[in-house]
Amino acid sequence: MSQGGRRVGRRPGWLVCLLLLAPLPPQAQTNAPWGGAQEVPARYAPARVLYDVDNGGAEALGNILDRVSYLNKLYEADPFESAIVVVVHGDAIPLFGIRDFPKYRALMQRAQSLTRSGNIEFRLCRAAAGVLGYAPSDIHGFVRMVPMADAEIVRLQREGYAYMR
């Protein structure tokens, strides 16, 4: 229908295209109705921390090593004020076995390199290792053997170590 040579009831096509191409607000683009998170600046005082590691997966241990390394960085690798102990037991023991070194070489090199700072150490359950057929001589030399992981975790917590899983 036209009115005085002009169409009535239809919007020009260019206007519709322009509206469709207009940028959406950030919330609409990302489907984030509340926007993005805000960073909270924080400094963390060095502390004593223990990680309880009993999962046998190399990927899981790699994630723990990442966390230990980053925490040590946040603590500025201060050997006088911080200490990080990784207590290894259960299915994670074979990862530290010398006989499996070719399979876990990169992972063990990372773990050993973390001990160089002086405030990170690995302690492995001798009782569980024995059940799995490992003697202390079958475990890498950067690891310290403790009689029992559970008792070591309890002892460290009594000494003020924060427990991490």
CB 72 within 8 A of CB 83: no
Better-predicted residue by pLDDT, 16 or 149: 149
Maximum pairwise Cα distance, the chain: 99
**Residues contacting 147, CB < 8 A, separation 6+:** 125, 126, 127
Per CATH, the number for 48-164 is: 3.40.1260.10
pLDDT in tens, 6-26: 555 555 555 554 555 656 555
What is the H or E stretch that residue 155 is in?
helix 149-158
Report which of 141, 148, 137 is spatially closest to residue 90, judged by C-alpha positions. 148
**62 pLDDT higher than 70:** yes
Q: In 3-state terms, the chain is what percent helix, strand and coil (to 5)?
A: 45, 20, 35
Give the mean model confidence (pLDDT) for residues 60-68. Answer: 97
Residue spans of the domains in the chain: they are 48-164
CB 47 within 8 A of CB 41: no
